């Protein structure tokens, strides 16, 4: 099984930083509530500590572990993806069950030259980890070719 692109670590860190902006907005609202309702100030200290721990884990720890754990493979008769942070999951989808394949990018992922390949079955959807844009296009084409060659009984 193959490792994900190293650029994914930077991409995941940046998405965590952007998510931290929303956490900070929530902290600002909490600060306003503490001041307006004259709540005890220890609530702010607890919220600041929780926010700091969340940001440190999301920005510095989680992307490195995700990079070390995440693997994927496209084989002749199945696709397998292993990913996670605390709970590691391994997902296997038989080529016979695939009904659609798409490539997804966003503004931030394009900045880091990354893309997600999404595989759809009748009952579920699986997204491969972030791949380089070139590798993602090749992976999408490879999966589409495998699906076209597959002879099903349906």
The yes-or-no verdict on residue 152 having pLDDT over 70 is no
Cβ-contact 83, 129 below 8 angstroms: yes
Could you tell me what percent of the chain has a pLDDT over 90? 90
Q: Do 95 and 120 lie in a common domain?
A: yes
Of 68, 97, 118, which residue is a domain's last?
A: 68
The answer to the question of residue 8 being in a domain is yes
Range of the domain at 127: 75-149
Backbone conformation region of residue 97, classed left if phi is above 0, alpha if psi is from -120 to 50, else beta: alpha
Burial of residue 115 (number of CB atoms within 10 Å: 0-12, 13-18, 19+): buried
| C-alpha span between 79 and 1 (Å, rounded) | 10
Q: What is the pLDDT of residues 7-24, one digit of tens each?
A: 999 999 999 999 999 999
pTM: 0.84
Could you tell me what percent of the chain has a pLDDT over 70? 97
Of 15, 43, 68, which residue is a domain's last?
A: 68
Q: Do 114 and 85 lie in a common domain?
A: yes
Q: Do 143 and 80 lie in a common domain?
A: yes
> What mean pLDDT is reported for the chain?
92
The per-residue pLDDT for 84 is: 86
Q: What is the mean pLDDT of residues 89-96?
A: 93
Number of domains in the chain: 2
Q: Do 28 and 60 lie in a common domain?
A: yes
Q: Do 141 and 118 lie in a common domain?
A: yes
Backbone conformation region of residue 101, classed left if phi is above 0, alpha if psi is from -120 to 50, else beta: beta
The answer to the question of residue 101 being in a domain is yes
Q: Do 89 and 136 lie in a common domain?
A: yes
The per-residue pLDDT for 86 is: 84
Task: Outline where DSSP puts E strands in 40-87.
Answer: 71-74, 78-84
| 108 Cβ contact list (under 8 Å, min separation 6) | 11, 14, 15, 18
Q: Do 89 and 132 lie in a common domain?
A: yes
Q: What is the pLDDT of residues 16-63, one digit of tens each?
A: 999 999 999 999 999 999 999 999 999 999 999 999 999 999 999 999
The answer to the question of residue 137 being in a domain is yes
The answer to the question of residue 154 being in a domain is no
């Amino acid at each position: 099984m193959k490792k994900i692109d190293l650029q994914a670590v930077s991409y995941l860190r940046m998405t965590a930083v952007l998510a931290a902006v929303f956490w900070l907005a929530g902290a600002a609202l909490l600060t306003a509530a503490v001041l307006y309702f004259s709540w005890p100030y220890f609530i702010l200290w607890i919220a600041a500590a929780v926010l700091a721990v969340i940001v440190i884990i999301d920005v510095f720890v989680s992307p490195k572990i995700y990079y070390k754990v995440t693997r994927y493979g496209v084989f002749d008769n199945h696709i397998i993806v292993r990913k996670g942070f605390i709970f590691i999951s391994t997902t296997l989808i038989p080529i016979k069950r695939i009904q659609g394949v798409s490539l997804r990018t966003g503004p931030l992922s394009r900045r880091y030259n990354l893309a997600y390949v999404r595989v759809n079955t009748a009952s579920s959807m699986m997204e491969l980890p972030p791949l380089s844009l070139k590798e993602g296009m090749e992976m999408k084409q490879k999966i589409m070719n495998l699906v076209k060659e597959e002879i099903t009984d349906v």
